[in-house]
Amino acid sequence: SNERYIQRLLSMYAESKLSPSAINTWLDCKLKFYFKYLAGIKETEELKEEIDAVLFGNLFHYAIEKLYQPFVGKRVEQHALKLLAADNRKIDQTVLEAIAVKYFRMNPEEAHGLNLSGQSILIASHIRDYIIQLLEQDSKLAPFDVVSLEKDYWAYFEVPVNGRTEKIKIGGIVDRIDRTSTGLRIVDYKTGRNLKLDFKEWNQLTDRDYNDRRKEIFQTLIYSCIISQAETLPVLPTIYKLDHLFDEEFDPSVIYAGNKLIYQQVASEFSEAFNRVLIEIFDQQTMYNQVKNTQKCSYCPYNKICRR
């Protein structure tokens, strides 16, 4: 019954976290959310012969975290990023380790013995190009302080459930947070080719039937909401769309109604939209059903169960 599912949700997220990615899954496909987070059916893990957006993102995240780790808690000047971009040996070693760990599933200490060939050489070359380009773009934005890398942030949100108020723990891992002269940048790296960094109405973020839902913006705003609870600085949702790194006028800012978004200025509007989503997730009357847009089923790992 739905009541049993709601109780399962509450028990799961009382101790762990309801992540922004899980909430996005709910908005994209409620049945996929059920399979993954309630039924506990794991996606098949396999060594992929060809690189895809997910694998590329995992490799890039790993490599850039390793390269930026020495900067955590420090001021990053332009010249430091220029020196790092020119350090071919360090970048090559880091990319090799990323491929060893995330592609071949080896231990980091085994990476030095890995000899790349064929497809893995192409992967390494692509990752290296994107790293160099990110360092170049970041050098234009310097100086800034790296506050954290791949760090877990969470907060409790009150949601009405079955006539009472429940505290739901929501959070996840934020790729990077920078302190700049204008505020705190909540940085999220994204590999999607068609994602857009602007929106005019909140239903563009939360309406599952919206043809081009800005799920990446929604996820970054959840992180911004969580972090803003303990911050006085302006919180700036920031999305590094990796393909945009090669643009001359690179700007990772999220744009709302034509202006660069500062979270505190839209906090009330976002809270209302977010609260509606949470209420829907925990509403006993909400059914787990198949998505209307069957195009989403083409890349869903559970499409064989649904026979879509």
pLDDT digits (tens, 9 = 90+) for 35-79: 888 777 877 654 444 457 788 899 999 999 999 999 999 999 999
At 230-258, the pLDDT tens digits run 889 999 999 999 989 999 899 999 999 99
> Could you tell me which residue, 112 or 69, shows the higher pLDDT?
69
State which amino acid sits at residue 143.
Answer: P
> What are the tokens at 190?
């994204």
Question: How far is residue 268's CA from residue 270's CA, in Å, rounded to a whole number?
Answer: 5
Q: Given a cut of 90, is residue 31 above it in pLDDT?
A: no
Over residues 150-156, mean pLDDT: 95
Least confident of 133-137, 181-185, 248-252, 299-303: 299-303
Question: How far is residue 53's CA from residue 12's CA, in Å, rounded to a whole number?
Answer: 29
Please tell me the pTM assigned to this model: 0.89
Over residues 257-261, mean pLDDT: 96
Per-chain mean pLDDT for the chain: 89
Question: How far is residue 189's CA from residue 150's CA, in Å, rounded to a whole number?
Answer: 11
Q: Given a cut of 90, is residue 82 above it in pLDDT?
A: yes
High-pLDDT (> 70) share of the chain, %: 92
27: CB partners within 8 A, 6+ apart: 206, 208, 213, 215, 218, 277
Which residues are paired to 148 by β-bridges?
177
In this prediction, residue 48 carries a pLDDT of: 46
At 202-216, the pLDDT tens digits run 999 999 888 889 999
